[in-house]
Structure 1
């Protein structure tokens, strides 16, 4: 949600407050505004907890958003339950609005934190990045990528610092799944795929929207891209920015941005960054054929150092997802025997 947009008029405000009160929500201050509606802080009287309420105006929203993307957002969020993701609680629909009740992250977002305090210490960056890694590993294990559709590019929903919210204990909460994409598991692999031969990471997309500063080179070049590997590139941008307090690539000039993303990134000499951390960032900024998958990231020594809990469940889910389809191994073995016979 973008800040600073026009808030609804008084009669409309009274109408939604009345609806919310019927369901036990006392609506408080505005915490965000966007093209299609407004996000409010609210108190849920039945369970005595604070929540966030996203109120979407059907008059402002496009037909495509209301009929395609909003139902998909609700469908995706209903199946997601993870400590480092914003949780979905309830959706309420009336003739004029849709109300989405979400977990409230009271600590603002990571971008605001960096703008206020500057670069993170390596331990702070390690904490947030390891939490981000666990959240993205969970999403990828379910075949969900944190990306969006170009027809709604004004919404700018993608994996970036603004979408990393903080709870009151300053733990990361990944938000904004409005245009997340569910990728078929064990998608059929092309005969000569330009990406690595792992069934879970071979689905290619041709659509993108969001911030070009976080976009991988294949997106900037307009090529079909792997959305899982697009997410890990964006994670590299996030980790670099946590450590340095500015983006690794200048997106004010598209040609310059394209050149920069195709060269090895450099690190400021005046900021102390461990070689382990640099190695991880460089691994996430490689060409797609060699880029780190989320499985590589979650097993990285630098990430492991900052994990406060075992990532065994996430690793197990990802490894199971990455198994070749049933019969593929036998088929490949048969083909190999034919070649050598």
Structure 2
């Protein structure tokens, strides 16, 4: 690393296949994060499939609410990923230290998360919170641990180990509902991630819409921000399945506005009725916390949701501006 101009410092995170360090880049005099992946510890599947996909997704993604990717360096024994450093820790640590967020802080963080996910979805990228029983998959999905904070306590979405780029052109089937038009009609069958953040269709082992899977995880995140605990008990799979089929309840000791509750209910419902990222961008509660109405993002995402004739295809729309 010294040959490339990096002075590696303290450990700031640990993963299944590697460790994240704080480092100083002497050439530009900036602090960065270095994710070091051991080829000896990592599975062939991860090294040959998921790691290249993660690097590809991060290379094409530039947004103020995503962790930026700077460089990848590969040696015979390791892969080094140079990333933006988020100096404020992660949102889970914040909740564990301070408890439930005020609704204004939850609104700030969730609106930033919404813009980041809107950007990814507009590019046909899903963060993909999904499910596998393998311990090696833990930590790579859309959840509180993967929402980092910069020094101004702005959200930075991180860890794209199981992110996926959906094919840029999707044939629209005549019987597809408007709710799943365009890229939103793509179904996935890969399961990897955390039980607590997984939508019911994943828990049931069904082919699922990865865009709507992201939305379910966003619902779990928002609930946890305002309640200081997860909405579902993930210690028992059968109980978890039952709970995800019902409308979520809110604790009496943490007052939550009806607008916020309505939004959470829109996200934590069965796939056929679940909100899309476009619905969330337009939601009155989210708009209250946006510095200005995200008209550009809304216009781009409308391309993904507008009904098309069965003879047309949808191409990837222009990117949402960062």
TM-score normalised to the size of structure 2? 0.91
Cα deviation, residue 322, structure 1: 3.6
Q: Which residue of the partner structure matches residue 170 of structure 1? A: 153
- 1:139 and 2:120 matched: yes
Match of 2:137 among 137, 148, 155: 155
Cα distance in 2 for residues equivalent to 1:263 and 1:234: 16
- 1:88 and 2:69 matched: yes
Match of 1:204 among 184, 187, 193: 187
Q: Is the 8 A contact 1:120 1:242 kept in 2?
A: yes
Cα distance in 2 for residues equivalent to 1:153 and 1:190: 37
Unaligned runs of 5+ in 1: 1-19, 331-341
TM-score normalised to the size of structure 1? 0.86
Cα distance in 2 for residues equivalent to 1:297 and 1:41: 35
For the aligned residue pairs, the C-alpha RMSD in angstroms reads: 2.0
Match of 1:119 among 68, 82, 100: 100
Cα deviation, residue 188, structure 1: 2.6
Residue deviations 1:61-106 (CA, integer Å, cap 9, x gap)? 1222112211111111000000000000001111111110000001
Cα deviation, residue 317, structure 1: 2.2
Secondary structure of residue in 2 paired with 1:222: coil
Residue deviations 1:174-233 (CA, integer Å, cap 9, x gap)? 000011011123423445447834122111111211111111111111111111111101
Alpha-carbon spacing, 1:112–1:273, altered in 2? closer, same or farther (3 Å): same
Which stretch has the larger CA shift, 305-314 or 41-50?
A: 305-314
Which stretch has the larger CA shift, 314-323 or 258-267?
A: 314-323
Residue deviations 1:240-288 (CA, integer Å, cap 9, x gap)? 0000000001111111111111011111122211110010000111211
Cα distance in 1 for residues equivalent to 2:74 and 2:122: 31
Q: Which residue of the partner structure matches residue 316 of structure 2? A: none
Q: Point out 4+ residue stretches in structure 1 off by more than 3 angstroms.
A: 148-153, 189-195, 321-330
Higher RCO (Cα < 8 Å, 6 or more apart): 2
